[in-house]
Amino acid sequence: MIEILFFILGVANNLFLIVIFLIRNKMPLLKRVGKYYFLLAIPAVYIIFLAQQERKLVQYSIFLWIFLAFLALEFLYDYILNIPFRDDLRKYWKPAAPYLALYYSMNYGFVVMTWKNYSLIPGIIILGLFIIQLFINILSHPRRQQLK
């Protein structure tokens, strides 16, 4: 059960981030859609609870806590502190470093845990979605847009 829920959460995370990166330059729409992304914390907490109840691998809880930390940092930077760290990494490298570490760790966790503990095909689906997400992220990144 946890493996399926973890996979579904990974798919939802990737799809949300793909949409967010696609609409990144449309700020009013991004602010509205971005708020719904944080609702993924609810199933993440539920899956942590289930993992502990069913005495599943501790890695599920670890990667879900990394995911929750990423969501918390995203909320803190974008909605509370309004740090424009994406605009100039040379200036804002200190807040960007933990953000990027959590971003890549969270995505790694969704791919590896699904691939290793659920099934090859769902693992490949998550990996494919992550590659699409990463590609769209790079192409739509504000810094890349300034270089054009």
pLDDT digits (tens, 9 = 90+) for 58-111: 888 999 999 999 999 999 998 898 888 777 777 888 888 999 999 999 999 999
In this prediction the pTM is 0.88
Question: What tokens were used for 26?
Answer: 């449309």
Per-residue pLDDT reduced to its tens digit, 37-59: 999 999 999 999 999 888 877 88
pLDDT of residue 143: 61
pLDDT of residue 124: 95
CA distance 143 to 87: 6
> For the chain, how big is the Rg over CA atoms in Å?
16
> Which CA distances in Å does 102 have to 22, 38, 121, 136?
21, 15, 25, 19
Beta-carbon neighbour count of residue 105 at 10 Å?
A: 16
Task: Classify residue 83 as left (phi > 0), alpha (psi -120 to 50) or beta.
Answer: beta
Q: Please give the DSSP secondary-structure letter assigned to residue 113.
A: H
CA distance 11 to 128: 10
> Domain range spanning residue 36?
2-147
CA distance 107 to 78: 20
Beta-carbon neighbour count of residue 96 at 10 Å?
A: 18
**Domains held by the chain: number:** 1
Tell which wins on pLDDT, 144 or 87: 87
